Amino acid sequence: MGNYDVKQEVTDKYSLRGRVFHKIREDILSGKYKEHEELKEVAIGEELGVSRTPVREAFRQLELEGLIQIIPNKGAYVTGITVKDVKDIYMIRSLLEGLCARWATENITEEQLEEMEENVYLAEFHASKGHLEQIAELDNRFHDIMYEACNSKMLQHSLRDYHEYVLRVRKKTLSDANRGEASNHEHRLIMEAIKAKDAARAEELANRHMINAYENMVKNGLEEAYKQQESSEEEKAK
Amino acid sequence: MGNYDVKQEVTDKYSLRGRVFHKIREDILSGKYKEHEELKEVAIGEELGVSRTPVREAFRQLELEGLIQIIPNKGAYVTGITVKDVKDIYMIRSLLEGLCARWATENITEEQLEEMEENVYLAEFHASKGHLEQIAELDNRFHDIMYEACNSKMLQHSLRDYHEYVLRVRKKTLSDANRGEASNHEHRLIMEAIKAKDAARAEELANRHMINAYENMVKNGLEEAYKQQESSEEEKAK
DNA sequence: CCTCGTATAATTGTATACAATCATACGAGG
DNA sequence: CCTCGTATGATTGTATACAATTATACGAGG
């Protein structure tokens, strides 16, 4: 239950307010709650040791994110995430990460660029040592730096949403060491394009970066990670 | 207060659950609550004739949408929407509407295509008669048909979000009869491209459609519609 | 006069109580 | 045996009560 103290920053950011929200979200994305399953306020509240009030607030947020659907006076039902959803997200992200890279080229600060360079070097180091955990962490951070650098609150918001959405899938695919190195190399190219102020190239590279990530994911069994929707067909029959 | 019975469908969709949410949202987008203003739960609750509970739930949703920022144990502060935000949204939408048009070309059903054709004809009729209200309504519907036709839950969700976000600006610019007719014509071209199964052309046209809408908006005084942020500078000084 | 600490007020966070709505089961009537 | 209506239980919707936290005001001490 209390697996939220792994990273201190994240803990502080989410503890108390939003802890319930992120826990339920995690449980949906991890497949604990299956598609079309009904979520009861009291049951989840008891499981997390809180009353219905915070649970209800979390439900409202989850509905807005599209993870559950709330039917008034009836209940909250898990929407789930299908293979097609993941594919769509990567296509959408491909476009938006491209736009982000373009804007980042125009707006990035010296500090951000330096952190990006450091990130790339560090990632290559950890890749050579086989430190998978750090690679995933640095990959997260690389994209986050770019989201900040693009200087657009709106774009940043959308990309963060999508990024989190597929976080579980990403963690799985980045565990593949080959893709990890390829991904790092793509990060380097993007970074260099940004540094050279070549916005068009940065956009094109970021575009490809997403497509590559997606194609690799398909190759490495995206279906398996999300076979939950098959088993939910029985659920639907009820 | 009770201006929600203009359109029956919308009323039913939002009444009871979500009414509070949409009302507060409307008040933020309309500029009633200015940037950096603190929203008190009890005050808003009394104004809407409800207790704190529904207000709090609405706050959580609004935060997720980025319209307010909630600082734990302190308060909820209006984030507002700046000129740059609107510009960014249109650039983002340009890409996503393009993608949507492409996917719609591949997935649209006969019924949807027929409704789209009907929509275009109707819009041209009302434009010739100068019925501005109907034009805005049909414009909404045109895009909504395409969102449905693209057959992507994720893309549909994002585009609806953005669409609503700039709804107020759009209503203002579509009041310009010239842009209304130009917009209708662009709708027709998109529709014809979809009908001809020319996905690349549909994408390109939808792209341009957004850029044109944005450029027209700038010309017609986008700044004026959102000058609220200037006045909020004083607020910030407090 | 300024600084710091305590006390008070205001506001949010959470839990609980009550109301409204929906699902289910059971039995009367056909 | 089936259908419909009512009654009961479960679940959500809302309001209120209490706890925790934060902001403010005031006064003691330097």
Residue at a domain's end among A62, A78, A94: A78
Q: How many domains does chain A have?
A: 2
Q: What is the mean pLDDT of chain A?
A: 84
For residue A96, what is the nearest residue in chain B, using CA coordinates? B92
**Å between B124 CA and nearest CA of chain A:** 32
Size of the A and B interface in Cβ pairs below 8 Å: 65
Looking at the structure, tell me whether residues B73 and B104 fall in a common domain: no
Instruction: Mark which of B78, B101, B126 sits at the end of a domain.
Output: B78
Q: Are residues B18 and B89 in the same domain?
A: no
Tell me how close the Cα of B57 comes to any Cα of chain A, in angstroms: 5
Residue with tokens 């004739």: B49
Q: B226: pLDDT confidence band, cut at 50, 70 and 90?
A: low
Q: Does residue A226 or residue A104 have the better pLDDT?
A: A104
Which residue is it, tokens 């052309």?
A: B201
Residue A206 has pLDDT above 50, yes or no: yes
Whether residues A155 and B92 touch (CB distance < 8 A) is answered with yes
- CATH at residue A200: 1.20.120.530
Could you tell me the CA-to-CA distances from B202 to B98, B141, B186, B207 in Å, in that order?
Answer: 7, 18, 10, 8
Confidence tier at B171 by pLDDT (50, 70, 90): low
Inside any domain, residue B192: yes
Q: Is B117 in the same domain as B215?
A: yes
Q: Do B64 and A65 touch (CB under 8 A)?
A: yes
Same domain, B165 and B198: yes
**Tokens of residue B153, six digits:** 């839950």
**Closest nucleotide (CA of B73 to C1')?**
C12
Q: Over 70: is that where the pLDDT of B145 sits?
A: yes
We report the CATH number of the domain holding residue B23 as: 1.10.10.10
Q: Establish if A72 touches chain B: CB-CB under 8 angstroms.
A: yes
Identify the three-state secondary structure at position A209: helix
Do A90 and A196 lie in a common domain?
yes
Checking if the pLDDT of B9 tops 50, the result is no
- Percentage of the residues of chain B whose pLDDT score is greater than 70: 81
Residue, of A78 and A231, whose pLDDT is higher: A78
Among B40, B43, B63, B50, residue whose Cα is nearest residue B20: B50
Q: Tell me which of A46, A63, A78 is where a domain ends.
A: A78
pLDDT single digits (tens) B70-107 = 999 999 999 877 889 989 999 999 999 999 999 999 99
Confidence of residue A185 (pLDDT cuts 50, 70, 90): very high
Backbone dihedral angles phi then psi of residue B75, each to the nearest 5 degrees: 175, 180
SS3 content of chain A, % helix, strand, coil (to 5): 75, 5, 20
Average pLDDT of every residue of chain B: 84
Least confident interval from A68-72, A108-112, B50-54, B126-130 = B126-130
CB atoms under 10 Å from CB of A104, counted, come to 30
Distance between CA atoms of residues B77 and B89, nearest Å = 22
CB-CB neighbors (< 8 A) of A57 in chain B: 56-57, 60
- For residue B232, is it within any domain? no
Confidence check: pLDDT of A83 > 90: no
Read off the pLDDT of each residue in B53-67 and give the average, rounded to a whole number.
93
pLDDT at A234 over 70: no
A82 pLDDT tier (thresholds 50, 70, 90): confident
Mean pLDDT in residue range B208-224: 83
Residue B183 sits in the same domain as residue B96: yes
pLDDT at A208 over 80: yes
CA atoms A231, A87, A31, A51: torsion sign: negative
How many angstroms away from the CA of B95 is the closest CA of chain A? 7
Cross-chain residue pair B155–A56, CB shorter than 8 Å: no
Domain holding B198, by residue range, is: 83-224
What digits encode the pLDDT tens for the residues A2-36? 333 333 333 334 445 578 999 999 898 888 998 89
Does residue A195 lie within any of the structural domains?
Answer: yes
Please name the member of A17, A58, A92 whose beta carbon is closest to the beta carbon of B99. A92
Distance A53 CA to C13 C1' (A): 10
CA A152 – CA B81 distance, rounded (Å): 12
Sign of CA dihedral A89, A79, B18, A52: negative
Confidence of residue A184 (pLDDT cuts 50, 70, 90): very high
Say whether pLDDT at B10 is over 80.
Answer: no
Nearest Cα residue to B145 out of B134, B156, B136: B156
Residue B212 neighbours by CB distance under 10 Å: 16
On whether both A71 and A175 belong to a single domain, the answer is: no
Q: Which helix (H) or strand (E) holds B69?
A: strand B68-71
For the segment A151-177, what is each residue's pLDDT rounded down to a tens digit? 999 999 999 988 888 876 666 666 666
Stretch B161-172: mean pLDDT: 75
Instruction: State the residue for tokens 């497509």.
Output: A211
Task: Assess B74–A contact: CB distance below 8 Å, yes or no.
Answer: no
DSSP symbol at A2: -
Measured CA to C1', the nucleotide nearest A54 is C14
Preferred mutation among B62, B68, B92, B166 to probe A, highest tally of A CBs within 10 A? B92
Both B25 and B134 in one domain: the answer is: no
Distance from the Cα of B121 to chain A's closest Cα (Å) equals 31
Same-domain pairing of A183 and A136: yes
pLDDT bin (cut points 50, 70, 90) of residue B7 is very low
B114 and B214 share one domain: yes
CA-atom Rg of chain B in angstroms: 19
Whether any strand C atom is under 7 angstroms from the Cβ of A53: the reply reads yes
Least confident interval from A43-52, A220-229, B90-99: A220-229
Residue A7, in any domain of the structure? no
Q: Would you say residue A37 has pLDDT above 70?
A: yes
User: pLDDT category, A217, cuts 50, 70, 90?
Assistant: confident
The set of strand D positions with any atom below 7 Å of a protein CB reads 11-17, 20-23
Claim to verify: residue B160 and residue B133 sit in the same structural domain: yes
Whole-number pLDDT of residue A9: 33
Which pLDDT does position A195 carry in this prediction? 97
Please judge whether B154 and A92 are an interchain contact, meaning their C-beta atoms are less than 8 angstroms apart. yes
Residues A143, B91: Cα–Cα separation, whole Å: 20
Per DSSP, helices labelled H in chain B are: 8-14, 19-29, 41-48, 52-65, 83-107, 110-129, 132-149, 153-165, 167-174, 177-195, 199-219, 222-225, 228-237
Query: Could you tell me the CA-to-CA distances from A128 to A59, A132, A135, B150, B227 in Å, in that order?
Result: 43, 10, 10, 43, 53
Checking if the pLDDT of A233 tops 50, the result is no
